[in-house]
């Protein structure tokens, strides 16, 4: 990897544990992990479908639609108040345990978030986890009305950080995001927590680690 001048982080699944909603799912579902898995899978699928169709809805609307699908798939009926409480867990996602330690080690560098999430969703999660002020930029796809892995999304980071893309390290736990960022031209770290196989699309991350707190050592920072 070349000289690192800044780091750009995906949010959901990388900093924030999307399956921290399982505790709330347990109140309404006999198989809470399965409900959470379906919810997340459809959330991502809907971003890709809407991008391809040119029919943008923001990530909050997509998250809501994915939850409706997941509830129907698992045969769960909620009243309006229960549904809203469960949906709003996305404002209160927990970070992974090692996130704060990793970010503290990396603070000498400009740090940014680049996410499909809406600004409100991102700032709510940051506030919930006492991470306000840690990031130089919190960048949402909203102004572009498309989602990752569209290369125009990745272009937001060098533009706002005023650094060349080759000097930025993009960090994600999502394989599609890793591939998209590498195809765009970032240096890329894959946080492969579940030790899953990378898709065969022709791009590879520069570094693979299982946890964010191994990132500073892996990058010699």
Tens digits of per-residue pLDDT, 102-143? 999 998 899 999 999 999 999 999 999 999 999 999 999 999
Question: Other C-beta atoms within 10 Å of 130: how many?
Answer: 10
Cα–Cα distance measured from residue 90 to residue 117, given in angstroms and rounded to the nearest whole number = 10
Hey, what long-range contacts does 200-204 have (CB within 8 A, 24 or more apart)?
203/178, 203/179
CA dihedral in degrees (176, 18, 92, 87; nearest 10)? 100
To the query of whether residue 213 is one of the catalytic residues in this protein, the response is: no
Domain borders along the chain are 6-16+94-218, 18-91
What was the pLDDT predicted at 1? 65
What was the pLDDT predicted at 77? 96
Q: From the candidates 10, 17, 177, 213, give the one annotated as an active-site residue.
A: 10
Contact between 191 and 207 (Cβ < 8 Å) = no
What was the pLDDT predicted at 166? 95
| Topology (CATH) of 6-16+94-218 | Rossmann fold (3.40.50)
Cα–Cα distance measured from residue 77 to residue 41, given in angstroms and rounded to the nearest whole number = 20
| Topology (CATH) of 18-91 | DNA polymerase; domain 1 (1.10.150)
What was the pLDDT predicted at 107? 86
Residue in this structure with the two tokens 């991470």, named with its chain if needed: 131
What was the pLDDT predicted at 31? 97
**What residue ranges of the chain have pLDDT lower than 50?**
none
């Amino acid at each position: 990897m070349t000289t690192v001048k800044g780091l750009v982080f995906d949010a959901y699944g990388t900093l924030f544990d999307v399956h921290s909603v399982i505790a709330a799912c347990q109140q309404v579902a006999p198989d809470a992990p399965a409900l959470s898995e379906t919810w997340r899978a459809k959330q991502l699928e809907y971003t890709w479908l809407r991008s391809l169709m040119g029919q943008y809805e923001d990530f909050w609307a997509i998250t809501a639609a994915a939850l409706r699908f997941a509830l129907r798939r698992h045969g769960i009926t909620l009243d309006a108040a229960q549904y809203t409480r469960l949906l709003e867990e996305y404002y209160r996602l927990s970070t992974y345990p090692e996130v704060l330690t990793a970010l503290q080690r990396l603070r000498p560098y400009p740090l940014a978030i680049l996410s499909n999430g809406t600004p409100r969703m991102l700032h709510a999660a940051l506030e919930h986890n006492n991470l306000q002020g840690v990031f130089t930029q919190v960048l949402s796809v909203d102004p572009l009305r498309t989602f990752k892995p569209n290369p125009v999304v990745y272009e937001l980071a060098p533009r706002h950080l005023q650094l060349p893309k080759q000097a930025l390290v993009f960090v994600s736990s999502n394989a599609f995001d890793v591939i998209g960022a590498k195809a765009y031209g970032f240096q890329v770290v894959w946080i492969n927590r579940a030790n899953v196989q990378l898709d065969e699309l022709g791009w590879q991350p520069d570094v693979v680690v299982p946890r964010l707190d191994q990132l500073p050592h892996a990058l010699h920072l």
